[in-house]
C-alpha cells in the first residue's frame, strides 16, 4: 500500500476512535502526521511497565492486555482493550513512565501516535486538550465502577456481567464468542481461573451454557436480574 493509502487508513481510524471522534478535520490531520500503523503478533509486547512513554495507541483490531506485575511476581490485569479504544494517552501527554505492561493477547493492529508532538499539540490546541481530558475522566469513572463491582458483586455476578457485555442486547436469547482465553477473563474479573469454572457451572441454573469458546444465554434480561440481586443474598455463588 502506498503512503497516501496508509494515511487514509490512519485518518479514518483516528476519526472513528472514541477519543478523537469529535475533533475537527484539520486537527485530526495534524495528529495523523505523527501517527503510524503498528502490527503486533499474538503474545508480543507493546511496552513494559516503567519504560519512558514514547507513544499512545488506538486499537484497530485484536485485543490488548494491560497489566501490572507485583513485587511478588503476581500479575494483575488492569484492562483489556479492543477496536475503537485507546491506551497510554495520559502518560504520553504527562511524560511519566508507563504504569502497566501492554501485550497483544491476539494478533492486533494499532495506530501509534508519537508522544512528543502530541504533547506539543495539547499545548497549542485547546480542543485536543479537552478531548484528552474528557477521555481520561471517563476512564477514571470506568475504574471507579470496576472497583465498585469487585467490591459489591460476587464472582458469579461479575461473570454474568461480562457475558451480558458481550451480548449486545437487553433481552432474549444470545450466542457470543468469548473474545480471549478463560485465564485472562478470570484475571480481568479479579477472580481465580478455578473460580471462573465454578461460576460458569453455577450460571447453568440461570440459562447459560458454555461450549468451548462460545457462550449461549437463554435470556439476557433474566441474567441481568442476577446481577441486580444483592450479593449478600447470594454469598454461596462467590
Over the stretch 95-139, which tens digit does the pLDDT of each residue have? Answer: 999 999 999 999 999 999 999 999 999 999 999 999 998 888 888
- Cβ atoms of residues 213 and 133 within 8 Å: no
Nearest to residue 205, comparing CAs of 156, 149, 155? 156
**Cα distance between residue 209 and residue 113, in whole Å:** 41
- In the 8-state DSSP scheme, what is residue 48? -
- Cβ atoms of residues 109 and 39 within 8 Å: yes
175 membership: H or E segment, kind and range: strand 174-177
**Cα distance between residue 58 and residue 179, in whole Å:** 18
Query: For residue 45, how many other CB atoms are within 10 A of its CB?
Result: 11
Q: Tell me, what's the pLDDT at 69?
A: 82
* Mean pLDDT across 38-57: 96
- Cβ atoms of residues 100 and 56 within 8 Å: no
β-sheet with 86-87: strand ranges across: 35-40, 108-114, 55-61, 86-87
**Cα distance between residue 54 and residue 56, in whole Å:** 7
Listed range (69-73, 90-94, 186-190, 208-212) with the worst mean pLDDT: 69-73
- In the 8-state DSSP scheme, what is residue 29? H
Cell of 210: 458454555
pTM for this one? 0.81
DSSP β-bridge partners for residue 114: 55
pLDDT in tens, 192-232: 899 999 999 999 999 999 999 999 999 999 999 888 776 55
**Cα distance between residue 91 and residue 88, in whole Å:** 6
Taking the alpha carbons at both ends of the chain, their separation in whole angstroms is: 52
Amino acid at each position: 500500500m502506498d503512503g497516501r493509502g496508509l494515511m487514509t487508513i490512519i485518518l479514518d481510524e483516528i476519526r472513528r476512535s472514541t477519543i478523537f471522534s469529535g475533533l475537527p478535520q484539520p486537527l485530526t490531520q495534524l495528529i495523523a502526521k505523527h501517527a503510524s500503523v503498528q502490527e503486533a503478533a499474538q503474545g508480543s509486547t507493546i511496552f513494559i511497565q516503567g519504560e519512558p512513554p514514547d507513544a499512545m495507541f488506538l486499537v484497530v483490531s485484536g485485543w490488548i492486555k494491560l497489566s501490572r506485575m507485583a513485587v511478588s511476581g503476581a500479575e494483575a490485569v488492569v484492562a483489556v482493550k479492543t477496536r475503537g479504544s485507546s491506551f497510554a494517552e495520559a502518560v504520553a501527554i504527562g511524560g511519566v513512565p508507563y504504569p502497566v505492561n501492554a501485550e497483544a493477547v491476539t494478533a492486533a493492529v494499532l495506530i501509534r501516535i508519537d508522544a512528543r508532538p502530541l504533547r506539543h499539540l495539547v499545548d497549542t490546541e485547546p480542543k485536543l486538550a479537552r478531548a484528552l481530558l474528557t477521555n481520561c475522566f471517563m476512564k477514571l469513572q470506568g475504574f471507579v465502577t470496576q472497583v465498585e463491582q469487585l467490591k459489591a458483586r460476587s464472582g458469579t455476578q461479575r461473570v454474568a456481567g461480562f457475558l451480558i457485555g458481550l451480548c449486545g442486547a437487553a433481552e432474549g436469547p444470545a450466542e457470543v464468542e468469548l473474545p480471549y482465553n478463560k485465564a485472562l477473563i478470570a484475571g480481568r474479573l479479579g477472580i481465580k481461573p478455578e473460580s471462573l469454572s465454578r461460576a460458569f457451572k453455577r450460571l447453568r441454573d440461570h440459562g447459560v451454557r458454555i461450549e468451548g469458546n462460545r457462550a449461549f444465554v437463554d435470556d439476557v434480561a433474566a441474567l441481568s436480574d442476577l446481577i441486580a440481586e444483592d450479593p449478600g443474598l447470594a454469598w454461596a455463588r462467590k
